Amino acid sequence: MSVKRRYHPKLQTIAFIGNYIPRQCGIATFTNDLLQAVSNELPKSSCWALAVNDTPKGYPYPNQVRFELNANRLKENKIIVIYI
């Protein structure tokens, strides 16, 4: 049985906010898997992530991560939130 999916035709950019691999946690894995699944389903859309860091040094993120937020310094993150 085939399922017909409908999407907003002008959907060009999708940002995922959350923990991201290589951070070792289930949410990071979920966010990565979700981004990959949506990207495969909507190949004409730009999918990227905004990773939330639990350490000031951050992580060596893959190219899908365009921005990083430091969870412990929320005031400094306002400019990123305004951008999104």
Residue 16 contacts residue 35 (beta carbons within 8 Å): yes
What pLDDT was estimated at residue 61? 98
**How many independent structural domains does the chain possess?**
1
Residue 64 contacts residue 35 (beta carbons within 8 Å): yes
Any domain includes 8: no
pLDDT score of 3 more than 80: no
Of the two residues 66 and 10, the one the predictor is more confident about is: 66
Instruction: Mean pLDDT check: name the lowest of 13-17, 70-74, 76-80.
Output: 76-80
Any domain includes 17: yes
Any domain includes 45: yes
**Banded model confidence at residue 74, pLDDT cuts 50, 70, 90:** low
Any domain includes 31: yes
pLDDT digits (tens, 9 = 90+) for 22-71: 999 999 999 999 999 999 988 889 999 999 999 989 999 999 999 998 88
User: Which residue range is the domain that position 20 belongs to?
Assistant: 13-83
Any domain includes 2: no
